[in-house]
Amino acid sequence: MPSLLDLTSQGDVGTISDESKLSSVTLMDPQQLYELWERQNWQSHTIDFSQDQRDWATMPVELREQMSWNLSSFFVGEERVTTQFSGLVMAYETQSEEAFLTTQQVDEARHAQHFNRFYEQVLGIDGTFEDRLQQARRNLNPAFIEMFDGVLVDWGRRLIESPHDMEAKVDFVTLYHMIIEGTLALTGQWFLTDYMERMSILPGWVEGFKLISQDEHRHVAYGTWFLREKAADPALRRRIAECLAELIPLAAGVLVPPGADPDDYAILDYTMEETNTFAFNALNRRLKVIGIDPAALAAAA
């Protein structure tokens, strides 16, 4: 699975091992990312869930419960980000940025459709899309609700009310692309995909998850490009750091399964240390590309 930092201006995939070179990485711009979207487009309704149905039917109850929390977070999360994205589309600065941002909103709707089909066809939850979302919401923890129903909605509304407010746009991209997608979603996707492949279960889900992850890497590439452009302004660079310092503790709480000890928990068979290290190491590398010293976040808190 390629890293966001592997998306160069030529669309090549490579490995960046020398972190001292991160600040000079060439990132794809919105026009290039739009063209990449055309090449990578896919259809959620063509994925076959027949083996997933058999796997779920024979899965131990305890594992089903663990999987339900993980899957619910993604299902509800994708619905939330789809509905709260319009303000950023309205805040475009160039025609290329407008084109790319509209593809991202389409991507998020497609992801939610994938999860809705899985809940209907594999988990066997009847009713409407809204009924299945409501059932998934029963598995969410308070930090998730605060971030996705509170902060995301509030910061998105600020952009809708004032699309030309650059501080509001920087805040939203920091929240959405660095924290929700770059820190939470890509971490969960990596570990869940790894687990399902090791256990040889839910191949349809894995197929969709890999395609979703491909989309998310493209989205985070935009966020990194945008924030690096804006971080050239010292005031906006400080604002990015302040937003991250505010959001990171909340993001850490989103990763905690309901009822678990926040200081000592596991997600499936991965330890808290493994998931947090993966999530925040990836964030730190992106911040270095943007031009923000991760060590400065504590000072901004």
For residue 11, give both structure tokens: 């669309």
CATH superfamily of 4-35+46-300: Ribonucleotide Reductase, subunit A (1.10.620.20)
Q: Quote the CA–CA distance of 61 and 13 in Å, as a whole number.
A: 40
- Looking at residue 62, its amino acid is E
CB burial readout 167-200, b (16+ within 10 A) else e:
ebbbbbbbbbbbbbbbbbbbbbbbbbbebbeeee
The per-residue pLDDT for 24 is: 66
**Residue 159 banded pLDDT, cuts 50, 70, 90:** very high
Extended strands (E) in the chain: 266-267, 270-271
Taking residues 90-106, report their average pLDDT: 98
| Digit-coded pLDDT (tens) for 103-117 | 999 999 999 999 999
**Cβ(112)–Cβ(75) under 8 Å?**
yes
The per-residue pLDDT for 301 is: 53
Q: Quote the CA–CA distance of 114 and 133 in Å, as a whole number.
A: 13
Question: Who has greater pLDDT, 295 or 180?
Answer: 180
| Digit-coded pLDDT (tens) for 20-76 | 565 568 899 999 999 999 999 999 999 999 999 999 999 999 999 888 888 999 999
The per-residue pLDDT for 280 is: 86
Q: What is the DSSP letter of 296?
A: G
Question: Who has greater pLDDT, 262 or 210?
Answer: 210
The DSSP string of 120-153 is HHTS---S-HHHHHHHHHTT--HHHHIIIIIIHH
Taking residues 200-219, report their average pLDDT: 96
What's the mean pLDDT when you consider all of the chain?
Answer: 90
Taking residues 119-145, report their average pLDDT: 95
Q: How many CA atoms lie within 13 A of 54 on its CB side?
A: 7
Is the model's pLDDT at 1 over the cut of 50?
no
- Looking at residue 57, its amino acid is A
Residues across the chain? 301
Backbone angles phi, psi at 168, to 5 degrees: -65, -40
Domain ranges of the chain: 4-35+46-300
| Contacts with 150 (C-beta within 8 Å, 6 or more apart), sequence order | none
